[in-house]
C-alpha cells in the first residue's frame, strides 16, 4: 500500500489553508507611493507593434546614490504594490530604486496577462538594466523581485547583469501540489493557443489576510483575467528548468522563503542555499508566512534586513 511521505502530508495541508478573518488587517503598503512614474521612455514590441512599458523610480535622500536596485513585480500585479519596500530601500539604503510593469501587466501596454516567453522576459529586464547602467554608471546594481519578479531577478543573476539579487518567494522551484491539472493544461495548450482564454479567473490568495485579496480584486491595475495558457506554460516550464541551474548560481543573493507558500515550493530557499556555490548567500525563512509576503505583516521585519543587505554591498 502506498504511504504518503511527511512532505506530501505537509504540502497537502498547506494547499488546504485558507485566509482567515482573525488575520484581517490593513496592508503594510499604507499610503506609500513611488516618487516618480514614467521617468524614462521604455518600450517593447508585441505582434509587430510598439508598446509602452510603465516605469517607476524612488530617489535617495542624498545627491549621489550608493547603488541601484531594480525591482520586478509578481504575476498579475504591478509595482505600485511594492512602494513601501521601494521607499525604505531608497531612503534608508540610499539605493535609487527603479522598475517597470511587465508588458501586459499593471500600467504597461500589451495583451493583458500574456507572458510570451522566458526569452522575452529576460530581454525586457536586461534592456531595462542596461538602460539604468547608462543613467547610473559605476554604481553597484541589484535585482530585487517577488514571485515572477523573483524569477526575473534570478535570471538577471544567471546572466551576470547585476552585482546581487534579492529573491522574495521566487518562482524558481515549482510547487507540484499547486493546481496540477491546470498546469498540465497550460503545458499542453500553451504552445498552440497561448492567448486562448475560455476559463473564468481563479482567484488564488497568496496571503492569509482576506483583506489583501479583496483590495487586489478592486485594484484596476491588477490583472483579473485567468492565467493564459501561454503564460502558464512559460512560468511552469521555467520553474521546472531553473533548479538545474542552482549548482551554477554564483551571484551573491538574499533569498526569502515562506513555509506556507501554496504557489512556490516552500523549500525553495533551503534548496538554493544547499546547491548554490555562491560565496555570498543568505536565507530568511518564515515558517508561518504565505507566498504574498510583501503584503504580510512579516515584511515589516524583513524590510530592514533587505535594507541592511543592500547597504553592506553598496558604495561606502
Max CA distance (Å), the chain? 68
- For the entire predicted model, the pTM comes to 0.95
> What is residue 196's predicted lDDT score, i.e. its pLDDT?
85
Element (H, E) at 142: strand 141-146
Domains of the chain: 6-312 (3.40.50.1820)
Give yes or no for residue 4 having a pLDDT over 90: no
> What is residue 69's predicted lDDT score, i.e. its pLDDT?
98
Beta strand 164-168 with 141-146 is: parallel
Contact 33, 83 (CB under 8 A): yes
Helices within the chain (DSSP H only): 6-16, 83-92, 118-135, 148-158, 180-189, 210-218, 229-241, 268-275, 299-312
> What is residue 215's predicted lDDT score, i.e. its pLDDT?
93
Q: What's the order of all strands across the beta sheet hosting 36-37?
A: 36-37, 55-58, 95-100, 67-72, 141-146, 164-168, 253-258, 281-286
Average pLDDT of span 170-177: 94
Q: Could you tell me the pLDDT band of residue 1, with boundaries at 50, 70 and 90? A: very low
First and final C-alpha spacing in the chain: 61
Lowest mean pLDDT among 60-74, 134-148, 215-229, 279-293: 215-229
> What is residue 2's predicted lDDT score, i.e. its pLDDT?
57
From residue 206, alpha-carbon distances to 75, 211, 219 in Å are 11, 11, 16
Q: Could you tell me the pLDDT band of residue 186, with boundaries at 50, 70 and 90? A: confident
**Residues 6 or more apart in contact with residue 165 via CB below 8 angstroms:** 142, 143, 144, 153, 154, 156, 157, 251, 252, 253, 254
Q: What digits encode the pLDDT tens for the residues 147-166?
A: 999 999 999 999 999 999 99
Q: What digits encode the pLDDT tens for the residues 197-256?
A: 877 777 777 999 999 989 999 999 998 878 888 999 999 999 999 999 999 999 999 999
Tell me which residue has cell 482564454.
197
* Cα atoms found within 13 Å of the Cα of residue 180, Cβ hemisphere only: 4
Contact 169, 264 (CB under 8 A): yes
Question: How deeply is 166 buried, as exposed, middle or buried, from its count of CB atoms within 10 A (0-12, 13-18, 19+)?
Answer: buried
Cα 23 to Cα 213: distance, rounded to the nearest angstrom: 12
Amino acid at each position: 500500500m502506498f504511504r504518503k511521505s511527511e512532505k506530501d502530508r505537509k504540502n497537502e495541508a498547506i494547499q488546504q489553508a485558507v485566509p482567515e478573518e482573525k488575520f484581517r488587517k490593513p496592508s503594510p503598503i499604507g499610503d506609500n507611493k513611488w516618487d516618480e512614474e514614467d521617468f524614462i521612455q521604455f518600450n517593447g514590441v508585441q505582434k509587430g507593434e510598439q508598446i509602452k512599458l510603465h516605469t517607476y523610480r524612488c530617489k535617495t535622500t542624498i545627491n549621489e546614490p550608493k547603488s541601484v536596485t531594480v525591482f520586478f513585480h509578481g504575476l498579475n500585479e504591478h509595482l505600485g504594490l511594492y512602494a513601501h519596500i521601494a521607499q525604505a530601500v531608497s531612503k534608508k539604503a540610499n539605493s535609487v530604486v527603479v522598475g517597470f510593469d511587465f508588458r501586459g501587466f499593471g500600467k504597461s501596454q500589451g495583451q493583458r496577462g500574456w507572458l510570451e516567453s522566458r526569452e522575452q522576459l529576460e530581454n525586457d529586464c536586461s534592456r531595462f538594466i542596461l538602460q539604468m547602467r547608462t543613467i547610473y554608471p559605476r554604481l553597484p546594481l541589484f535585482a530585487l523581485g517577488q514571485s515572477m519578479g523573483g524569477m526575473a531577478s534570478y535570471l538577471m543573476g544567471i546572466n551576470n547583469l547585476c552585482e546581487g539579487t534579492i529573491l522574495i518567494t521566487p518562482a524558481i522551484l515549482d510547487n507540484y501540489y499547486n493546481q496540477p491539472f491546470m498546469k498540465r493544461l497550460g503545458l499542453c495548450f500553451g504552445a498552440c493557443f497561448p492567448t486562448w482564454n475560455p476559463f473564468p479567473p481563479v482567484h488564488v490568495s497568496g496571503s492569509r489576510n482576506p483583506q489583501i485579496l479583496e483590495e487586489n480584486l478592486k485594484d484596476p491595475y491588477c490583472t483579473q483575467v485567468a492565467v493564459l495558457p501561454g503564460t502558464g506554460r512559460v512560468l511552469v516550464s521555467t520553474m521546472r528548468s531553473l533548479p538545474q541551474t542552482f549548482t551554477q548560481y554564483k551571484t551573491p543573493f538574499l533569498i526569502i522563503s515562506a513555509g506556507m507558500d501554496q504557489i512556490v515550493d516552500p523549500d525553495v530557499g533551503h534548496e538554493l542555499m544547499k546547491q548554490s556555490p555562491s560565496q555570498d548567500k543568505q536565507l530568511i525563512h518564515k515558517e508561518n508566512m504565505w507566498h504574498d509576503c510583501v503584503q504580510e505583516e512579516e515584511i515589516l521585519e524583513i524590510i530592514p534586513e533587505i535594507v541592511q543587505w543592500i547597504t553592506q554591498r553598496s558604495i561606502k
